[in-house]
Chains A and B, each alone.
Chain A
Amino acid sequence: MTLRTSRTILAATAVLALCTAPLRAEMADDELNINGDTPIVTKAPAADFLKGHLDEVYSGWLFRTDSSRAMEQDDFDNPIMVFGEQGMDNWNVADGSEGKSCADCHGDIEEGMKGVRAKMPHLNAKGELWSMENYINDCRTERMGAEAWGWDSGPMKNMTVAIAVQSRGMPVNVKIDGDAAPFWEKGKEMYYTRYGQLELSCASCHEENYGNYIRADHLSQGQLTGFPVYRLKNAGVVSIHNRFKGCIRDTRAETFKPGSQEFRNLELYVASRGTGLEIEGGGVRP
């Protein structure tokens, strides 16, 4: 009731919001420009399929405090870059029975991985929906003869950071029509399913209540453009599926596993809600 109305008004007059809600600013009025040379779009009109749900889409960066936002503005201050550098080092290291490195097939990471984060997840040649982690492991096991990395293992997260950075400033570019449509529809259904004993859906928090506080947490739209993110709380990198797992757990629900078909479907749908925004590659979160 009042909430919905107040948010619609706030969204329409984002600047005024600061005056009308002095205690709780809706979100930051700020521009992201990493290292001063990579401007990133963090606000955009919502995609057509979101009509009636959202008018504009916002990066999670806008909902963070001044100090977290500042850390993401400069790679020297962004703790995730240490992990990204480890990933970049590993890019050139040969591994497995074939004695090959990523670079042997893909060349420089700056060239070979440009735009890859922006189009994830997408269908593979066999018509399966794969996330970045699946593609990385496919290269490791099928082309390098190396062992697969765990979804949330250190080397995997480091590599996904290194790859995400190569898409900075590129618009979200996920394919949701054609053969991808059935996966997208399933992800959408999940997004609106009220899970757990608390009976909350993703939409309960990230569509109906972004801008509001749930205890100390300032709710964002739950966008993926900052991922993988560095979380100050765990002093480490958090993958997309790990974030999903935590959010579903917080509804007092039985969660799903990182890498599961369900989470890949959900990832496609949530990624598509960010259409219009640009990839940040290494966000900083509390």
Chain B
Amino acid sequence: MNLFTILISTIFVKNYVFAQFLGICPFLGVSNKTETATGMGLAVTFVVTLSSVITWVIQKTILDKFGLQYLQTIVFILVIASLVQFVEMFLKKSSPNLYKALGVYLPLITTNCIVLGVAILNIEQKYNIIETIVNSLGASIGFAIALLLMAGIREKFDFADIPKPLQGFPIGLITSGLMAIAFLGFYGIV
């Protein structure tokens, strides 16, 4: 599979939020404003891409060599947690406002299943290092797009006449379901 196909298929066809249902928590939690959604998208992109590269290297150079594949989950989580800590420190220093806006969802990137999911799927698909980078970049761009689309729609909720029982979270769930169906339309492109 060439790199372009991997990129397009992870962004649209196999979109991690809409087609594989990973990373739903921050998708619903941080999609209230486009501004914070952009920040979250960038933070996740950084963490996913870097953690995929590091976990790939660790898997190939250490785990496979010593036959320690069963330690995969705990080692990957260790890498992800450290990276998220690093991103948190970096954001606190460089952009305090974004740090405040992301709030609790920033440390929660650690437990965002999209990060671990991409890292493990890279190994399972037997990607090489270049394909790993492209795949994780595509996954996080797909996540960022999903987040931004959702935030754009949710901002319009304020002006919409939504029936009372559906206001707030329920309409968010319905919207994301409809968006997932819409993304089904990309099936068959690749």
Partners in one complex: no
> Which B residues lie at the A interface, using CB under 8 A?
none
